[in-house]
Chain A
Amino acid sequence: MNKEEKIQAMTEIMTKFTGYMGKHLPDDVTAKLNELREQEDSYLAKVVYDSMTENQELANQLNRPCCQDTGVVQYFVKVGSQFPLLAEVQDILRTAALEATKEAPLRHNAVQIFEEKNTGTNTGERIPWINWEIIPNEKGINIEVYMAGGGCSLPGQGKTLMPAAGYEGVVEFVFDVMTSYGINACPPLLVGIGIGGSIDVAAELSKKALFRPLGVRHSNSRGAEMERLLEKGLNDLGLGPQGLSGKNSVMGVHVESAARHPSTISVAVSIGCWAHRKGNIQINEDMTYEITSHRGVTL
C-alpha cells in the first residue's frame, strides 16, 4: 500500500467503526447490563430493563443507532511516533465523523458557539474532538471512539477542594452529583472520577476513566478500595434503571488520578449512561486492525 491507499483504507475503517459503535454496545457493557437486570424484581425496573433489551435487539436487526442521541463524536488517540499517517490522522478522523453521519446515519449534534447554528454535519469548531497521546517508537495507533449523549454529559462537573476537605470531600461531591443530576442521566451509570491538582487535569482524567474496561480496578490499592466503596455505596442508594428505583445505580466506578499540588485537590465527574457507546480499535502500520471493545467484529 502506498500512502494514498493507506489514507483511504484508514478513512474507510474509521468511518465504518464510528457508525458501528453508535449502533452496538461494547461487550463489557452488555455483560454488565445482563448481570444487573437479573437482580431486579420490582415491576417498574423490569418494565424498563425489558425495553432496554428489546431495544438493543431491534437496533441490531434494523441496523440503527441504538440511542437517537449519538453525541458529539470524540476520538481519544494514542498514536505511535512512527505511525506512517501521523500527520494525516486529524483529517482522516474529521472525514470519518462526516461520512459516518451520512452513512450510519448519526444525529446532527454540532452547534457552533456564538453563531448558534447546527452545522448538520457533526463537524464544527474543534469537532470532532480529538485528544492526543504520543507513544514513543510505536508504529501503530489505538483509537477510542466515544459518543456521549446530552443526557449523560449534563451531570459533568468539577470542583477544586482545599486539602482540608480531603478525599472525604471527593466522596461527598460524587454523591451530590449522583443524587441530583445522575438520576436523569439514564442509570445504571458508569461513573468516571478524575482526581488531580487542577480542574483541567481532573476533567480529562474523569472522561478517560470511562474507557477503562469494566471490572478493571485502579492500580493503587487505595484507589481500588475507593472505587469499591463508592460502587457499593452508590448501588445502596438504589437509583435503579432510569432513576425509578431498584437494586443498583451504577455499572461501575472508575477513578483516574494524577499527582496533585500540595494546596489543592481537584475532583471531576464524567458520567456514562447505560447505553455507553465506547469503541476501541487498534490499527497497525499496514492498516490491518483489531477491534478490542466488540470482539469478533469485522467492519
Chain B
Amino acid sequence: MKKILTTPIQNEDLEQLTAGDVVYLNGYLVTCRDMPHRRLVELGQKLPVDLAGLAIFHAGPIVVKEDDGWKMVSIGPTTSMRMEKFEKEFIAETGVKLIVGKGGMGPNTVEGCQTHKAVHAVFPGGCAVLAATEVEEIERVEWLELGMPEALWVCRVKEFGPLIISIDTKGNNLFETNKVIFNEKKVPIVKDICSQVKFIK
C-alpha cells in the first residue's frame, strides 16, 4: 500500500520515516529553486507564499498559458545540491516540511531537517511528464518576473511520487552513506585501471 503524506504535514508524519522509504504526496507543492532561496536567505525578502507545513519542489517547469490559468506540461526535479548553501536557514524561516528534488544534499540540510523536523526526498530525475500528470492544478504563480524556471508555481498534487526519502529527521543521509561506499570501492578500481594505461614510456 502506498504511504501518503498530506499537507499540512505534521512532525509525527515525518518522524516515522527513514532514509530509503518511498512515499507519495497529496496537497500543496510549491516550486522553489535557486532564486527564491537566495532572495529569502541572502536578500531577506519575504516569500509571497506561506510554506509552513507544505512541500517545496526544486524544479523549474515548462508551463503554458491556457484560458485564464496555467497548464503544467513538464516538471521534473533539479539538482538539490545547488540549494544546500541556503536550505538550513530556509527550513528555519519558512517551516517547510518536505523538500523534493534530485540527488543528495549536504550537512547543513541534514542539520535543518533534524532541528526543525523536515525531510528531503528524491523524485526520479528526468521523469518530468510523469510528475506533470500528478499535478492536478496550478493554483497560482508568484515572482513570475524571475522567469519560467525560477518563479514560484503553487501546485495542488495528487499521489505525487515516487518520493524516495534521502534525508530523514534522524540525521540519516542516503546519498552521503552511498558516497562513502562509492569512494571506498573507487580506490582499488582506479589502481587497477592505472596499471593498464601506462602508455607514456
What residues of chain A have their CB less than 8 Å away from a CB belonging to chain B? 44, 47-48, 51-52, 54-55, 58-59, 62, 64-70, 105-109, 111, 117-118, 120, 150-151, 154, 163, 166-168, 170-172, 175, 179, 183-186, 222, 225-226, 229-230, 233, 236-239, 241-245, 273-275
What separation, in Å, do the CA atoms of A166 and B194 have in the docked complex?
9
- Interface hub of B82, B103, B179, B183 (most chain A Cβ within 10 A): B103
Question: Which A residues lie within 8 Å of B162 (CB)?
Answer: 47-48, 51
Which 8 A-B pairs give the minimum distances between C-beta atoms? A184-B103, A118-B147, A55-B127, A275-B126, A68-B128, A168-B194, A167-B197, A68-B74
B62 at the interface (CB under 8 A from A): yes
B178 interface residue per 8 A CB criterion:
yes
Asked if A55 contacts B128 (CB within 8 A), the reply is yes
Judge whether A150 and B197 touch: CB under 8 Å: no
Which single residue of chain B is at the shortest CB-CB distance from A62? B129
In the complex, are the beta carbons of B193 and A171 less than 8 A apart?
yes
- Closest Cβ neighbor of A236 among chain B residues: B189
CB pairs A–B below 8 angstroms (29 shown): A44-B20, A48-B124, A52-B124, A52-B126, A55-B126, A58-B129, A65-B128, A68-B74, A105-B73, A108-B147, A117-B147, A118-B146, A151-B125, A170-B197, A171-B190, A171-B194, A172-B190, A179-B179, A179-B186, A183-B103, A183-B175, A183-B178, A183-B182, A186-B126, A236-B185, A236-B189, A241-B124, A242-B103, A243-B104
Chain A CB within 8 A of B14 CB = no
Known: A184-B102, A242-B103. A66 touches B129 (CB 8 A): yes
Q: Which residues of A contact B183 (CB under 8 A)?
A: 179
Q: How long is the Cα–Cα vector from A275 to B124 in the complex, in angstroms?
A: 12
> Does B147 contact A244, Cβ atoms closer than 8 Å?
no
Interface of chain A: mostly helix, strand, loop or mixed: helix
Question: What is B's interface to A at a CB cutoff of 8 Å?
Answer: 20, 22, 59-62, 64, 73-76, 78-82, 102-104, 122, 124-130, 132-133, 146-150, 162, 164, 174-175, 178-179, 181-183, 185-186, 189-190, 192-194, 196-200
